[in-house]
Amino acid sequence: MGLTTTGRLSGPERAALAGLLWASAAGALVAGISAGLHVFGIWTGDPDLSITLGNSYFPELAGDNPRVLSGQYDTASITVADMPGPARALLTAASLLQHLVMASICIAAFLLCRRVLQYRPLAKSSTNALGVVGVVVLLGAAFPGIFESLATLITAASLGLPGPGEIDSREVVDGPALHIDFALLALGTLLLVIATALQMGARMQLDGALREGTPPQNPSTDGFRP
């Protein structure tokens, strides 16, 4: 969508932006409610957790065969209820961070739409919001997986299951793989780049240095309104 020849948003453009604005507000509200319900279920319900077990036993049919160099039985998993408090706390942190990613993106979209409708797309609040959302998205790409893995290990320890270091003797907890969302990593990086570009544009606009290839002189953010 672009501006009309008079530099003003057309009726359909304003309607579309207003629709996106309220859809973003609704998305943030849904993310908040969903986070509350999920956390409520973790602490007041009876959530379960799946734990993968590593099996070190050697297949019996291959035990006396000199041609077999290595082998093991397939892994198994158990589902555990009544998790200990620290595990519930870690799952709560993971859930809150996952929902915070969605809520922050919606809030940033709301602010951007609002500023565009006010003809102030380079306002400081918009660029700052994008930067904050970029950081939140980067955190949401890695830390929920870390928290969930730690919750799994704590729950397994509460059952008396041995750790991966004891795999020579019996079934043990298979160290959970850390899940990193690379799509979120890319999105967070993109948001930070966009926020930096918008801040640079605001400074160049403020200093009157919009000539192509000319860096802003004495850049300052104090002159444009938030």
DSSP assignment of 67-98, as one string?
T-----PPPEEEEE-S--HHHHHHHHHHHHHH
Evaluate if residue 57 carries a pLDDT over 70.
no
Domain count, the chain: 1
Evaluate if residue 71 carries a pLDDT over 80.
no
Domain range for 153 is 18-47+83-165+177-207
Evaluate if residue 66 carries a pLDDT over 80.
no
**Mean pLDDT of all residues in 9-25:** 85
Least confident of 56-70, 123-137, 211-225: 211-225
The whole-number pLDDT of residue 224 equals 42
Task: Give 89's contacts (C-beta < 8 A, 6+ positions apart).
Answer: none
In a domain, 55, yes or no: no
Number of H helices, E strands in the chain: 4, 3
Least confident of 6-20, 130-144, 164-178, 194-208: 164-178
Stronger pLDDT, 199 or 74, i.e. the higher one? 199
Band the pLDDT of 207: cuts 50, 70, 90.
Answer: low
In a domain, 62, yes or no: no
DSSP three-state, residue 194: helix
* CA 161 from centre of chain: 31
In a domain, 124, yes or no: yes
The whole-number pLDDT of residue 209 equals 46
Q: What are phi and psi of 197, to 5 degrees?
A: -65, -40
In a domain, 159, yes or no: yes
The whole-number pLDDT of residue 127 equals 83
In a domain, 7, yes or no: no
DSSP three-state, residue 49: strand
In a domain, 66, yes or no: no
The whole-number pLDDT of residue 176 equals 64
In a domain, 128, yes or no: yes
Cα three-residue angle 86-161-157, rounded to 5 degrees: 15
**Mean pLDDT of all residues in 30-42:** 90
- Among 112, 128, 108, 110, smallest CA distance to 120 is for 112
Of 27-31, 64-68, 107-111, 206-210, give the range with the top mean pLDDT: 27-31
In a domain, 189, yes or no: yes
